[in-house]
Amino acid sequence: MTDNVKGILAILFSAAGFIVNDAIVKVITEELPNGQIIFMRGLAATALLAVLTTATRSWRPLHVLLAPAMLVRLVAAAFSTLFVVAALRHLPLSTVNAILQVSPLVVTAGAALLLGAHVGWRRWCASLVGFGGVLLIIKPGTGAFGAEIWLALACLLASATRDLTTRFIDHSTPSMLVTFAASAVVMLAGLGLLPFETWIVPSPRATGLILVTAGCLFVAYHFGVIAMRTGEIPVVAPFRYASILGALALGYGIWGHVPDSISLIGMALVVGAGLYLLYRERSIARAARAAPASAADNQQPKATS
């Protein structure tokens, strides 16, 4: 299994964790304020991650967490969470998810500009088709593009920054520690909203759902770090598009939300672009495996008559 395939599988697990978490958070916003949700969820997730970080012997000196790339990633993770919870309170699940699907394109551009990653024209075209599909979903310039969408757009910028800066973190820093640090900072960000909100005693139902979201966040954060540190970003990042299908299913199953025909066309374009990128990855991998064999054949001495 190539590093790119491992990265793709990791990003799919991460996307599933995020979309299930988002659906549950949207349900909980009917009862609890944003900061309380973020803090309670973060408290449970951070406690779990502390145990796992200890079990895997992933602790490192504090200065590791003070590296510039790590600090930028942690701040971006905190803002991403604050904005996405606020967006989920006001927007349909599929709409928020669709806006965030622009993130792979932003990450791809950032990887090409900042990391010098090679992005062939076919990958660029596929990513741009996916971007066009997202535009059909969010419909900028129309009545569907309400003020609340800016919350999701702010989350998009923060999440893309979080993912891109992961590549600048020293590879000697364990992924589990990175995940723990992000969860702890997000938890503190939720606590920071306490002076501006009225927190209440949560119901047993809300408490149970928050514990489930903590597990989902562990899966999402941990596999997200692995995905961004394994394989090529231009190949791995676009597979977040797969979460569109999950958002559609959960949005319909829980709230009965059905996107209009233009949005469905946009989603089809996004999914098609993702499938084409998978095809390109397989083609490139086959060509890479065939090249050494061809070179070896050319080096064999030819028989003389």
Q: Which residue has the higher pLDDT, 27 or 277?
A: 27
The two tokens of residue 12 are 């799919």
Assess whether pLDDT exceeds 50 at residue 305. Answer: no
Global pTM reads 0.78
Please list, residue by residue across 58-85, b when 16 or more beta carbons sit within 10 angstroms of its beta carbon and e when fewer do: beeeeebbeeeebebbbbbbbbbbbbbb
What average pLDDT is seen over the chain?
Answer: 84
Q: Is the pLDDT of residue 54 over 50?
A: yes
- 148: nearest Cα among 81, 91, 79, 84: 91
Structure-derived torsion over alpha carbons of residues 83, 271, 115, 281, reported in degrees to the nearest 10: 150
Nearest to 240 by CA among 214, 266, 262, 273: 273
The pLDDT assigned to 141 comes to 72
What letter represents residue 69's amino acid? Answer: A
- Residue 101 is classified by DSSP as T
119 vs 183: which has the higher pLDDT: 183
Number of H helices, E strands in the chain: 12, 0
pLDDT at position 276: 77
pLDDT band for 147, please (50, 70, 90 cuts): confident
Domain coordinates of the chain in residue numbers? 3-195+207-285
Q: Which two tokens stand for residue 240?
A: 């977040």
pLDDT for position 297: 61
- Position of tokens 């562990």? 218
Q: What pLDDT, on the 0 to 100 scale, is given for residue 294?
A: 62
Q: What percent of the chain has pLDDT over 70?
A: 89
